[in-house]
Amino acid sequence: MNKPYVIGIDIGGTNSVVAVVDARGNILGSDKIKTKDYTEAKAYTDALCKCVVGLIKSTGVEGRVNGVGVGAPNANFHTGSIENAVNIPWAMGQKVPLAAIIKKETGLSCLLTNDANAAALGEMMYGAARGIKDFIMITLGTGVGSGIVSNGQLVCGHDGMAGELGHVIVEKNGRLCGCGRKGCLETYTSATGVMRTATEILATDERPSLLREITGRPLTSKDVFEAAQKGDTLAIEIFNFTGRVLGEALANFVAFSSPEKIILFGGLSGAGDFLLKPIRAAMDENMLFVYKGKTELCLSELKEADSALLGASALGWEVK
């Protein structure tokens, strides 16, 4: 193999991580830029390409990189563009032809898929979905993403944009979403959704809570997790509410593709049983009987950053 390395890029709402990966999934080196520090697409892509070129040099793999794979929100596999990603300032309301830009700036061919699809590919190759042909990956990060695998293939849809389960409307006239509609799943079960729930519960429930002691900075879902670990009733209630909303949605998703596993991934999934227990209870309560007890809910087996990165990098082998 003349070109035994690929570049994986995982574009998240907060960070864009770039890594050099070998054929066995080892990460030789990585670097990152802040996704949200840029408001213009050109400034972002310039910084990203500079980061890629710098990393190739610092890891000493010049001339031996096969291609680039990118996982990004609202990425279209067919067109190689990021299309109207609502959580990314430089990609709102426009199409950013990232694959073409990377090719032009670095000389490397590039394929894109959405970040959750990339995570699903990573999980299928190295993680909890090895040997599994039907599963759904749910990413609980700044937003809520999904990668759906059916019959061993990614469900991409006719336009390459399938699998936006974070934007399934779960509550009519519910919370306003970044996409402009109301009641999307991600307004409840993303890290930011959890903070909205926390704000609501702290405002309406007068019981004491450790969370009330955090002032002078915005609450984070990590605060809620740490409070829950200390037995804080309201923190636990926040996760119970979040899990219930997600479990009800997952029960509906099962009626679609009857997956063997649903794999949770992303920052919020670190809450573990605080989230998993209410999700499982709500799934069980709301599942059509023909599916009951058949779909396993589990956590990603890969380190959070690695899953999307490795999945994205896998696309670097597919370029022509």
Question: Of 84 and 220, which CB lies nearer to its own copies in the complex structure?
Answer: 84
Q: How far apart are the first and last CA of the chain?
A: 15
* Sheet with 15-22, side-by-side order of all strands: 27-34, 15-22, 5-11, 65-72, 110-114
Among 14, 15, 220, 252, binds its own copies (CB under 8 A): 252
Each residue 105-144 as x (binds its own copies by CB under 8 A) or -, in order, gives ---------------------------xxx----------
What whole-number distance in Å separates Cα of residue 56 and Cα of residue 51?
A: 9
**Is 257 among the residues that bind its own copies (CB under 8 A)?**
yes
Among 28, 33, 53, 162, binds its own copies (CB under 8 A): 162
DSSP 16-51: EEEEEEETTS-EEEEEEEEGGG-SSHHHHHHHHHHH
**Is 218 among the residues that bind its own copies (CB under 8 A)?**
no
**Is 148 among the residues that bind its own copies (CB under 8 A)?**
yes
> Which 3-state string (H, E, C) describes 88-156?
CHHHCCCEECHHHHHHHHHCCCEEEEEHHHHHHHHHHHHCCCCCCCCEEEEEECCCEEEEEEECCEECC
**Is 78 among the residues that bind its own copies (CB under 8 A)?**
no
Question: Tokens representing 313?
Answer: 């990098």
Which secondary structure element, helix H or strand E, spans residue 164, and what is its range? none
**Is 203 among the residues that bind its own copies (CB under 8 A)?**
no
Q: Report the DSSP beta bridge partners of residue 135.
A: 149, 261
Each residue 20-59 as x (binds its own copies by CB under 8 A) or -, in order, gives ----------------------------------------
Question: Of 158 and 217, which CB lies nearer to its own copies in the complex structure?
Answer: 158
**Is 260 among the residues that bind its own copies (CB under 8 A)?**
yes
**Is 244 among the residues that bind its own copies (CB under 8 A)?**
no
CB of 160 to its own copies, least distance (A): 8
CB of 85 to its own copies, least distance (A): 9
Angle formed by the axes of helices 221-229 and 191-204, nearest 10°: 60
Q: What is the binding site for its own copies (CB under 8 A)?
A: 74, 83-84, 132-134, 148, 150-151, 153, 155-165, 167-169, 172, 179-181, 248, 251-253, 255-260, 286, 288-291, 294
